[in-house]
Chain A
Amino acid sequence: MDRNELMKWIKAPAKMAHKYSLNAVYFCTGCGIIEVPPTITSRWDAERFGVVPSATPRHANLFLITGYVSVKTLRAIIRTYEQMPEPKYTVGFGSCTINGGMYWDSYNTIKRLDKYIPIDGYIAGCMPRPEAIFVAVTHLWTLIDKDMADGYKRYRKNYAAYRANQEMVLGKLEWPPLFPKETGTGTADGAAMAMDVASHTTGRTG
């Protein structure tokens, strides 16, 4: 707790609190979740950084998307992301979330995850080891410090585009749009875009 740390606490306590108390949603989206248990138990102990798994998205502000995202899991990821209180941060594990990774030509996985939900940072490695996760956490701290970890703001601003992309891949979603005001304008053209693709492959209604 040196001097400038103390100054940071005094100037922006909320930001510091968000840095040192990251509750991660305990949701195994892909193969990377096998790295999370050793991270939070005795050998590596993520709790000293303030990272604790939480049972529900309502308690969480960090969403670790560990590994490839299948089309079916995307539906659950979007639902969980929208249920997390703001400000919230997402970190993608491995290359599968960046460009599809080794499933680049699979019919069933999502290639670029940040077309559907905003991602604040990626960790290289298939799958990244606990030390890499801690490096990611410290990087996330610097991002929060510099106000660059603004995934949730981008989601709110461009919600229409995100929603359109989601419905393009998943067909009609069972829950109403999270920010009805923003999608007021967006739904019209979003639906138009969806129509031409839909003729090629019809999105299954949920």
Chain B
Amino acid sequence: MNLPLAIRLGSTFQSIDVESGSSGRLVVQVPGESVVPVLTFLKEEGYGYLQLVSCVDWIDRGALQLVYLLSCYTEDEIGGEEGSQEVFVKTNVPRGRASVPSAIGVYEIAEPYEREIHELYGVHFEGHPRLTPLFLERDYEIPPFRKDFDTKQYVADVFDSVPPVKEEG
């Protein structure tokens, strides 16, 4: 019996709500601690490919939203009537103490994405082998991609304070 994926998901996990997003995609809202179980469930369902992990800073709601985009390339019908090729898994994390279990156990590919999010958003991923810096050369108190990071002030402090080279003599 291949009940549509949305119903099966709803039945196996309690505190999640599933609705269909644009162009047949499924959007699954998940609480922080049950991200990994949902990902493993979807992986067994055939969504073997994690396209990306990204992060949105909802500063007014005081939350960082992590978005996992999964897709499946097998031919047979997976989800509901026309089969949803992609699934969004979203989870909200408090801005102050942002920490989520790492998805590397399920999808190896998540490693660089999580490193980048850690560097630019300051979200800590438990169980991540190396959360070392990836792009940035310098240290930042407030991770640069957060909305409360004031770039103009930072540029004034760091780059404009560098004196131009005066011509001696």
Residues of chain A whose beta carbon lies under 8 Å from any beta carbon of chain B: 71-72, 75, 100, 104-108, 110-112, 114-115, 118, 154, 157-158, 161-162, 165, 168-171, 193, 197, 200-204
Q: Which residues of B pack against A, CB within 8 Å?
A: 133, 135-141, 144, 149, 151-152, 154-155, 157-168
Q: Which B residues lie within 8 Å of A193 (CB)?
A: 163
- How far apart are the CA atoms of A171 and B137 in the complex, in Å? 9
- Chain A nearest CB from B118 CB (Å) reads 15
With contacts A105-B151, A158-B165 taken as known, whether A197 is within 8 angstroms of B158 at the C-beta atoms is yes
A161 contact from B136, B155, B166, Cβ within 8 A: B166
Chain A nearest CB: distance from B155 CB in Å?
6
Are A202's CB and B139's CB within 8 A? yes
Per the bound structure, the CA–CA distance linking A108 and B115 in Å amounts to 18
Residues of A within 8 A of B136 (CB): 71, 108, 204
Which residue in A104, A106, A203 is a CB contact (below 8 Å) of B138?
A203
Let me know if A106 and B155 touch, CB within 8 A. Answer: yes
Report, nearest first, the 4 A-B pairs whose CB atoms are least far apart: A71-B137, A161-B165, A111-B159, A202-B139
Q: How far does the alpha carbon of A170 sit from the alpha carbon of B137 in the complex, in Å? A: 7
Contact A204 B138 (CB under 8 A): yes
Is B137 within 8 A of A115, CB to CB? no
Residues of B within 8 A of A161 (CB): 163, 165-166
16 other A-B residue contacts (CB within 8 Å) besides A71-B138, A111-B160: A72-B135, A105-B155, A106-B151, A106-B155, A107-B151, A111-B159, A154-B165, A162-B165, A169-B138, A169-B162, A170-B137, A197-B158, A200-B157, A201-B154, A202-B139, A204-B139
Decide if A154 touches B167 in the complex (CB within 8 Å).
yes
Q: A105-B155, A171-B138, A202-B139 are in contact. Are A197 and B165 (CB under 8 A)?
A: no
Interface centre among B154, B162, B164 (most CB of A within 10 A): B162
Measured CA separation A107–B157 after assembly (Å): 10
Chain B residues contacting A168 (CB-CB under 8 Å) are 162
Q: A71-B137, A107-B144 are in contact. Are A115 and B154 (CB under 8 A)?
A: no
Contact A165 B157 (CB under 8 A): no
B158 touches A158 (CB 8 A): no
Cβ contacts under 8 Å, B155 to chain A = 100, 104-107, 111
Please indicate the chain B residues that have their CB under 8 angstroms from the CB of A110 in the complex.
Answer: 159
A137 CA to B104 CA, complexed, in Å: 52
B144 to chain A, nearest CB (A): 5
| B163 vs chain A, min Cβ distance (A) | 7
In angstroms, Cα B2 to Cα A175, docked, is 64
Are A201 and B163 in contact, CB atoms less than 8 angstroms apart?
no
Residue from B144, B162, B168 within 8 A of A165 (CB atoms): B162
Can you spell out 28 A-B residue pairs with CB atoms less than 8 angstroms apart? A71-B136, A71-B138, A104-B155, A105-B155, A106-B155, A107-B140, A107-B149, A107-B154, A111-B159, A112-B159, A112-B164, A114-B164, A115-B163, A158-B167, A158-B168, A161-B165, A161-B166, A165-B162, A165-B165, A169-B158, A171-B138, A197-B157, A200-B157, A200-B158, A201-B141, A201-B157, A203-B138, A204-B138
Docked-complex contact B165 and A75, CB < 8 angstroms:
no
Query: Once bound together, how far apart are the Cα atoms of A112 and B158, in whole Å?
Result: 12
Pick from B137, B158, B161: contact of A75, CB under 8 Å: B137
Q: Using Cβ atoms and an 8 Å threshold, which residues of chain A touch B168?
A: 157-158
